[in-house]
Amino acid sequence: MGAEVGQYIKNCGRCVARKTPPQRAAPLNQITSKGPLDLVCIDFLSLEPDSQGFANILVVTDHYTRYAQAFPARDQKASTVAKILCERYFVHYGLPARIHSDQGRDFESKLIQDLLRMLGIHKSRTTPYHPQGDPQPERFNRTLLSMLGTLDPKRKQKWSQNISQLVHAYNCTRNEATGYSPYLLMFGREARLPVDICFGVSDKSEKSVTYQQYVTKLKADLHKAYQLATEAADKNHKRNKRAHDKLVKDQVLEEGDRVLLRNYGVTGKHKLKDKWRSMPYIVVGKMPNLPVYQVKPERGTGVVKTVHRNHLLPIGYLVRLPSEDDELESSQKPGTRKQQRLAQRSTQFVNYEDEPLSSESDYEDVDPPRQISVEWKDLLSQPE
């Protein structure tokens, strides 16, 4: 009797959609970079508006050095992103080889695509609802929020005026993953801080050297620092991977497998909502070397969605789910314009990169920079 009840529950569509808890179904993958500005990650952080009207922060993090910059912004428009990158980042640090972000419309707009194509910068993105694909900005966001939260109430009302000092303090602090401060790995020297003046620490005792001697020593020091930082970062990743993969129930999906999608994008109160959508999907493809799959609806016609393995639940050949017809019917109703926007935001999936970030082929499909007559300001003035 017990075995029959267990088998019935496994084949019950309502039980599967509601009771099956999400699990880690894919092992942890590493995003790699070869040096400073090889890979730059960007993300938006939203918080309470301050007295100057700023309610957003564009976070730009160099993946290799962990060097971060945070730029207050009044909105999250693509034109704002382009202006900040061109006028406040690229002119100070140079052009990165790649830029990685989530699938926000501000980062995936035609304006950003044209700008990066003009500058010869490769663009990659995460899969939907998977912030682990862009981990460094997410981790820095938590650190930055913690630092901002320690300000007194008056200074919190002017957080945009205090954020640069906090970010500088972060950059000058030793990073646990690399063993060096982000400032040192980015610029080849430690920043001189007010605390150095208080304790009488200076460089006056050092002998003056020629430019050639300085450059030679700087290259040797950076080479050694990069080598040690890479080894420390790899060791840290392996430790995190072991801890993560202990809870992973790895199950590779094959083409033709039936799956359910995790029920994301639900607005309002949803404690009684199903954990998985009741409409079955069919696996139609898999990204090479990545736990990312392409799926399409089992019934009817629909767009192919690219989803991380953790957001898919294999169901085998269960009985037809009872609410499948209702969901299919409701998904075909036009609804109000606001409902369409909410539905699109929760269900629209943009194709993921065909190659992993660590692949050398990332550079193959990028046109080499060439002399052009288009000015940045002319491009930024175009409509989004």
- Domain CATH number, residue 196: 3.30.420.10
User: Do 135 and 210 sit in the same domain of this protein?
Assistant: yes
Domain boundary among 227, 244, 261: 244
User: Do 191 and 221 sit in the same domain of this protein?
Assistant: yes
* Predicted local confidence at residue 115, as pLDDT: 94
* Predicted local confidence at residue 260, as pLDDT: 85
* Predicted local confidence at residue 72, as pLDDT: 96
User: Do 199 and 260 sit in the same domain of this protein?
Assistant: no
Residue 344 lies in a domain: no
User: Do 235 and 261 sit in the same domain of this protein?
Assistant: no
Pairing of strands 68-73, 258-261: unpaired
User: Do 239 and 293 sit in the same domain of this protein?
Assistant: no
User: How many domains is the chain partitioned into structurally?
Assistant: 2
The residue segments making up the domain with residue 17 are 1-25+252-325
User: Do 215 and 269 sit in the same domain of this protein?
Assistant: no
- Domain CATH number, residue 301: 2.30.30
Domain boundary among 304, 325, 346: 325
Cα–Cα distance for residue pair 67/57, rounded to 1 Å:
16
Amino acid at 32: T
* Predicted local confidence at residue 228, as pLDDT: 87
Residue 135 lies in a domain: yes
Residue-wise pLDDT tens for the chain (384 aa)? 777 666 666 666 667 666 666 566 566 667 778 899 999 999 999 999 999 999 999 999 999 999 999 999 999 999 999 999 999 999 999 999 999 988 888 898 999 999 999 999 999 887 665 556 557 788 898 899 999 999 998 999 999 999 999 999 999 999 988 899 999 999 998 888 887 777 666 655 567 788 888 889 888 988 888 888 888 888 877 777 777 667 666 677 888 888 888 887 666 676 677 777 778 888 888 887 777 888 888 877 778 888 878 778 888 765 555 554 444 444 444 445 555 454 444 444 333 333 343 333 333 344 444 444 455 566 666 666
Residue 350 lies in a domain: no
User: pTM score > 0.85 for this model?
Assistant: no
Residue 183 lies in a domain: yes
User: Do 56 and 183 sit in the same domain of this protein?
Assistant: yes
* Predicted local confidence at residue 39, as pLDDT: 93
User: Do 127 and 229 sit in the same domain of this protein?
Assistant: yes
Burial class (CB in 10 A: 0-12, 13-18, 19+), 223: exposed
User: Do 209 and 274 sit in the same domain of this protein?
Assistant: no
User: Do 107 and 233 sit in the same domain of this protein?
Assistant: yes
Domain boundary among 271, 302, 325: 325
* Predicted local confidence at residue 349, as pLDDT: 38
Strand blocks (E) in the chain: 40-46, 56-62, 68-73, 98-101, 122-125, 258-261, 281-286, 292-297, 305-308, 312-314
User: Do 133 and 270 sit in the same domain of this protein?
Assistant: no
β-bridge mates for residue 58, sequence order: 44, 71
Residues 6 or more apart whose Cβ sits within 8 Å of residue 350: 103, 108, 125, 128, 306
User: Do 312 and 276 sit in the same domain of this protein?
Assistant: yes
